[in-house]
Amino acid sequence: MNEAKPIGGKIWTMPFLFLTAIVILAVFFLAERFLFGLGSVTNMNDSYPWGIWIAYDVVIGTAFACGGYSMALLVYVFNKGEYHPLVRPALLASLFGYTLAGVSVIFDIGRYWQAYNIMIPSKMNFHSVLLEVALCIGTYVLVLWVEFAPAVLEKVRAERQLAKLNKVIFVFIALGVLLPSMHQSSLGTMMLAAGHKLSPLWWSKSLPMLFLISAMTIGYAVVVFESTVAALAFKRPLETGMLSKLSGLIPWLLGGYLLVRLQDINGAGLLPLAFSGGLQGNMFLLENLLLLGALLLLIYPINRSSPRMLFIAALLIMAGGGLYRLNVYLIGYDPGTGFHYFPSAPELLVTFALIAVEIMGYTWFVKRFPVLPAVKHA
């Protein structure tokens, strides 16, 4: 753990300034949203009560933020200590992903000034899957900050607090594995309730399980992606050795996922629907082709040791897994005749701004705090 070191360098680079501009623009639209309501900024309507802010920022965003979960599961539960250097950067990405998902929910709640009620036990609706998701994600955000706290404590040299935290941190690590297992599957459970409104290409009793497995798979893919991009962006050596070993897991997860997913569709006799040529059918094919492509790439050990193939496979998984979630929450969802939804430009901008904040936060942290493993000079 002591091997991590801040990488230093200038914060206000050109890309950083560009991202700041997007954020400023989004803040303007958010002010409009909070003053004049959701209708003034978004394209949501009575039958599409959620849009891109939930579908991307929360559902896909938290899946992309599952790196911390997947790594904690591997390192602490399966005791694979060799991957430890990957944990802290993965946690950092998760931290931003989840925190911003929580923030995004506040943007999305119509009467946001009532949001605090969800924390009051007497006001809770215990029959709601959404309550489980909300409490679970809320708690997990806190847990993530505690899990990440050692990096901050090391930076400010608060040795006493660090020692104290290290004594109890196992509780938080355990929670950090438990909570995502709960809410990632609940994100699938939630759409079980949509029933016939969700196309049969996605509605299935396996939804919770598929969401959980895909979250884990995306988690590992994100670790590969994030490590590779950090290496390229900050001109650091690639961590290919560790990544290729890690990605040996992915074919198993992905293979299992695709087996369940495709047999689900085949067993229900829905393959003709998938090939019917409509938007939903094509999206179904695209989603599964992307994942199948990644599986075919990663099955061969030779590809797993190539940083380029690894990176492409990680991108395919993130695209396919993300599309799966987008399909479940928006594209495959048809609430009834006459209703349309396509995000408005300001709505999209807010989502881009959240991604920008994630990138900016990540950069700032790795430059100023001990997150990435120190480079050993040859």
CB of 345 to another protein, least distance (A): 4
CB of 35 to another protein, least distance (A): 19
- CA 96 vs CA 106, 211, 337, 371: distances in Å: 16, 20, 38, 14
* DSSP characters over 292-346: HHHHHHHHSHHHHT-HHHHHHHHHHHHHHHHHHHHIIIIITB--STT------HH
Cα separation of 295 and 258, whole Å?
Answer: 9
Determine if residue 100 is left, alpha or beta; phi over 0 gives left, psi from -120 to 50 gives alpha, anything else beta.
alpha
CB of 297 to another protein, least distance (A): 12
Of the candidates 352, 361, 358, 341, the one whose C-alpha atom is nearest the C-alpha of residue 29 is 352
CB of 134 to another protein, least distance (A): 25
Nearer to another protein, 17 or 46 (CB): 46
User: Is residue 294 within 8 Å of 320, Cβ to Cβ?
Assistant: yes
Nearer to another protein, 20 or 181 (CB): 20
Of the candidates 152, 143, 150, 144, the one whose C-alpha atom is nearest the C-alpha of residue 167 is 150
Nearer to another protein, 54 or 74 (CB): 54
CB of 135 to another protein, least distance (A): 30
* DSSP characters over 90-151: HHHHHHHHHHHHHHHHHHH-TTGGGGGGGG-GGG--TT-HHHHHHHHHHHHHHHHHHHHHHH
Chain residues binding another protein by CB under 8 A are: 39, 43-48, 228-229, 232, 238, 306-308, 311-312, 315, 338-345, 347-349, 352
Nearer to another protein, 76 or 234 (CB): 234
Cα separation of 42 and 328, whole Å?
Answer: 20
CB of 352 to another protein, least distance (A): 6
User: Is residue 148 within 8 Å of 154, Cβ to Cβ?
Assistant: no
* DSSP characters over 92-107: HHHHHHHHHHHHHHHH
Nearer to another protein, 6 or 307 (CB): 307
Nearer to another protein, 178 or 312 (CB): 312
Nearer to another protein, 84 or 197 (CB): 197
Nearer to another protein, 28 or 342 (CB): 342
Cα separation of 44 and 47, whole Å?
Answer: 8
CB of 115 to another protein, least distance (A): 23
Buried residues in 19-56 as b, exposed as e (16+ CB within 10 A): beebbebbeebbeebeeeebeebbbbeeebebbbbbbb
Beta bridge partners of 48: 45
Joined tokens for residue 68: 């911390």
Cα separation of 78 and 271, whole Å?
Answer: 38
CB of 356 to another protein, least distance (A): 11
CB of 23 to another protein, least distance (A): 15
Nearer to another protein, 43 or 62 (CB): 43
CB of 197 to another protein, least distance (A): 15
Nearer to another protein, 87 or 314 (CB): 314
